[in-house]
Structure 1
Amino acid sequence: MKALNIKDRLKKQKNKKWYFFLNQLICGIKEDEVTAVGAQLTYYLILSIFPFLIFFLNILSYTSITQENLFNGLDILLPQETQKLLQGIINEIAYSSSDTLLSLSFLLTLWTGSLGITAIIKAINKAYNVKKKRPYWRLKAIAIIFTVALALLLIIVLGMLVFGELIGNKIFGLIGATNIFIHLWEKLRIVIPLMSMIIIFALLYKFSPTPEEGIHLKIRHTLPGAIFTTIGWVIASMIFSYYVNNFGKYSKTYGSLGGIIVLLIWLYIASIMIVLGGEINGAYAATMSNKGINECGDDEKK
C-alpha cells in the first residue's frame, strides 16, 4: 500500500517543474554517459597538467616568489600524497627550467588542454541534445581560447590562495593600509577565485552548444551549472582530501603509485563536476522551455 501511495504521489508531481527538472537531469546523466566522459576528460587533464606545471614554474622562476610556498593554502583541497607527488615534479622542474622548455611547455599545454576542452564541449552539446557539429577549425579555435582562459583561471586561483597573503602584505605595505583593509583582503582572496571560476565555467557552458542548432543562451541560463561545478568541486575536493589524509591507505595498497592513483581520482572528481554542470544547465533549459531535450520517459512522449 505504501509503495502504491508513493507512486501515486509521484504521478501527481509530473506537472511540477522540479519533478520535470530531476527527470531530465537523471535521464541526461544516464544517456549522455557522464562517467565515461569524465574518465575521458581525466585522461586529457593528466596529459595537460604536467606541461602546465612546467610552464607555470618557469614563469615563477622569473619572479621573487619561492617555489617552496607553492602548496601553501592548497592543503585543504590537495591530498597529502598528491602534494608529495607534485612536489617531487616541481623539484625536478626547478633544476631544468629554460626558455626553450617554457615555449615547449606552453605549446603542449595549449594542445593537450584543447583536447580536454573539446571533450567538454561535446559533452555539453550532448546535454542540450545538439546534433549539428561545428567545423573542425572553429571547434579547435574555441577550445584553444578556453584553454588559455582556464590556464589564466588556474594562475588566478593559485595566485590568490597560495600567494595571496604575500601579495596583500606587499601591496598594503606600500600604501600603508590599516588592519581593516588587510582583513577585507583575506576575504577577497577566497571570493575572487570562486567568482572567477563561476564566470569562466558560465562562459564555457554558454558558448559550447553549436549556434546553428538555434540554442541561444544567456549567462544567467548557465549560472546554475557554473555555480554547481565551482562549489561542488571545492566541497568534493575537501571531502576527498580529508578522507585520503585520515582514512585512505593508497600508499599501502598501491605502493609508490599511491600518489598517482590519488591524483587520478581527484582529477576524475573535477571532471565529473564539470560534465554534471553541463547536464544541470541542459535540464534547466528543458524545464524553462517546457520541452524535453532528452527522451525521458513520459515527458518526451507527450
Structure 2
Amino acid sequence: MRSISPPKNLFLRGIYLMTRRYLRHNVGIQSAALAFYLLFTLFPVLIFISALLGLLNLDVAAIIQALRTILPADVLNLVEMYLTYVSSNHSPQLLLFGLFFSIYFPMRATNALMRSVRTAYHLGPPRGVILPRVKALLYTVLLIITIALTLTLMTVGDRVLIYAVEHFHLPAVAAGMWARLRFPVSALVGYFALFFLYALAQDGRQPWRNIWPGTLAALAAWLFISWVYAMYVNNFANYSVLYGSIGTVIVLLIWLNLTAVTLIMGAELNGTLISLRKDGGGASL
C-alpha cells in the first residue's frame, strides 16, 4: 500500500506530521497513563494545599473563584468541599502527610510525562537510572513550591494590598495594577514550570527555539480546552443523569485526559518544528 505524501503547504504539512506523530507515538495511550497518575496526584496535592490554607489562613473562596472559568462546576464543587473540610481541620501532621504523597505521586506523573517528551524529541530511553529520578524529584519539589507561591499570590494578595495601602501609603493605583497583574503573573509562572519540565527531559541543553513554541501552545491550548470543556459540562452535558453519583469522577477523568493530551502534544509540536527545520519537510517522524 502506497503511503500518502505530505502536503506541500507548510501549515498543512505540520498538521499532517502532528497527526502522524499522535498515532505513531501512541499519544492516546500515553495520555491515558498520564491521566491515571494525575488522578492519584490530585488528592494528595489537595490535602497538602488544604493543610497549607489552614495553617496560613488563606482564602479558599479566592482560589475557587480563580478556578471557576477553567474547571467544570461538578469538579469545582468537589474541590471546594475538599479544600473547605481539610482546611478547617488542619494540623501539621496532615501537612506532612500531604507533602510526602504530594512528592511521591507527582514524581510518577512527572516520569510519565518526561518519557513522552523524550519520545517526541526522538531521544529514546534515558541513560542511567539515578539521574532521571533526581530530575523528576527536583522538578516535583520546585512544582510544589510554585503551586504554594501561586496560591499565596492569588489569595493573600488582596489583604496584603489593603494593609500596604492603609499602613505603608502604597498608592491605590499601584495596588490596583498589582491586583490585575496577579493572574497574568500566575500564567507566566505556569509557562516557565512547563518549559522547565520539557528542558529537564532532555539529555543535553536544547536551544530556546526547540522548547518555547510547544510550551506556549500547550499552555494556551490547555486554558482554552479547559474553558470550553467547563462551558460544555456546565451548560450542555449532564453526566449525573448518565452516570449517577460517579458523574463527577467521569468529568474529572475526561478533564485530566484532555490535560494530559495537551501537555504531550506540546512536546510533539516542538518535535514537529525541529523536523521541519532539519530536513525541510519533516521526513523524520
Question: In structure 1, what is the Cα distance between the partners aligned to 2:160 and 2:229?
Answer: 29
Deviation of 1:96 after TM superposition, in Å, equals: 4.2
In the other structure, the counterpart of 2:207 is 218
Deviations 1:147-197 (A, max 9, x none): 122223333443444554344333444432334223322331121011111
In the other structure, the counterpart of 2:264 is 275
Of 119, 134, 141, which aligns to 1:141?
134
Q: In structure 2, what residue type is equivalent to 1:208? A: A
Question: In structure 1, what is the Cα distance between the partners aligned to 2:125 and 2:266?
Answer: 21
Deviation of 1:75 after TM superposition, in Å, equals: 1.0
Q: In structure 2, what residue type is equivalent to 1:147? A: T
Q: In structure 2, what residue type is equivalent to 1:38? A: S
In the other structure, the counterpart of 1:58 is 51
Q: What aligned pairs does 1:223-242 form with structure 2 within 5 A after superposition?
A: 223-242=212-231
Question: In structure 1, what is the Cα distance between the partners aligned to 2:222 and 2:155?
Answer: 18
In the other structure, the counterpart of 1:122 is 115
In the other structure, the counterpart of 2:32 is 39
1:29 maps to 2:22: yes
Question: In structure 1, what is the Cα distance between the partners aligned to 2:197 and 2:167?
Answer: 38
Shift in alpha-carbon separation, 1:192–1:223, aligned structure 2, 3 A: same
Question: In structure 2, what is the Cα distance between the partners aligned to 1:69 and 1:300?
Answer: 47
In the other structure, the counterpart of 1:150 is 143
Q: What aligned pairs does 1:4-15 form with structure 2 within 5 A after superposition?
A: 13=8
Q: In structure 2, what residue type is equivalent to 1:270? A: T
Deviation of 1:249 after TM superposition, in Å, equals: 0.3
Deviation of 1:85 after TM superposition, in Å, equals: 1.3
Shift in alpha-carbon separation, 1:20–1:272, aligned structure 2, 3 A: same
Deviation of 1:209 after TM superposition, in Å, equals: 2.4
Q: In structure 2, what residue type is equivalent to 1:203? A: F
Question: In structure 2, what is the Cα distance between the partners aligned to 1:69 and 1:238?
Answer: 18
Question: In structure 2, what is the Cα distance between the partners aligned to 1:221 and 1:169?
Answer: 43
- List runs of 5+ in structure 2 lacking aligned partners: none
Question: In structure 1, what is the Cα distance between the partners aligned to 2:209 and 2:166?
Answer: 39
Of 71, 89, 99, which aligns to 2:82?
89
Asked if structure 2 preserves the Cα contact closer than 8 Å seen for 1:74 and 1:162, the reply is no
RMSD: 2.5
In the other structure, the counterpart of 2:99 is 106
In the other structure, the counterpart of 1:4 is none
1:188 maps to 2:178: no
Asked if structure 2 preserves the Cα contact closer than 8 Å seen for 1:21 and 1:286, the reply is no
1:249 maps to 2:238: yes
Shift in alpha-carbon separation, 1:156–1:270, aligned structure 2, 3 A: farther
Asked if structure 2 preserves the Cα contact closer than 8 Å seen for 1:203 and 1:219, the reply is no
Q: In structure 2, what residue type is equivalent to 1:263? A: L
Instruction: Give the 3-state SS of the residue equivalent to 1:70 in structure 2.
Output: helix
Question: In structure 2, what is the Cα distance between the partners aligned to 1:70 and 1:97?
Answer: 17
Question: In structure 1, what is the Cα distance between the partners aligned to 2:47 and 2:81?
Answer: 12
Moved more, 28-37 or 178-187: 178-187
Of 258, 268, 277, which aligns to 2:247?
258
Instruction: Give the 3-state SS of the residue equivalent to 2:55 in structure 1.
Output: coil
Of 166, 190, 195, which aligns to 1:197?
190
Asked if structure 2 preserves the Cα contact closer than 8 Å seen for 1:125 and 1:209, the reply is yes
Question: In structure 1, what is the Cα distance between the partners aligned to 2:222 and 2:161?
Answer: 26
Percent of paired sites with the same residue: 22
**Higher alpha-carbon Rg:** 1
Q: In structure 1, what residue type is equivalent to 2:279? A: N
Question: In structure 1, what is the Cα distance between the partners aligned to 2:113 and 2:31?
Answer: 9
Deviation of 1:145 after TM superposition, in Å, equals: 1.4
Moved more, 175-184 or 269-278: 175-184
Of 68, 72, 76, which aligns to 2:65?
72
Asked if structure 2 preserves the Cα contact closer than 8 Å seen for 1:57 and 1:93, the reply is yes
- List runs of 5+ in structure 1 lacking aligned partners: 1-6
Q: In structure 1, what residue type is equivalent to 2:201? A: S
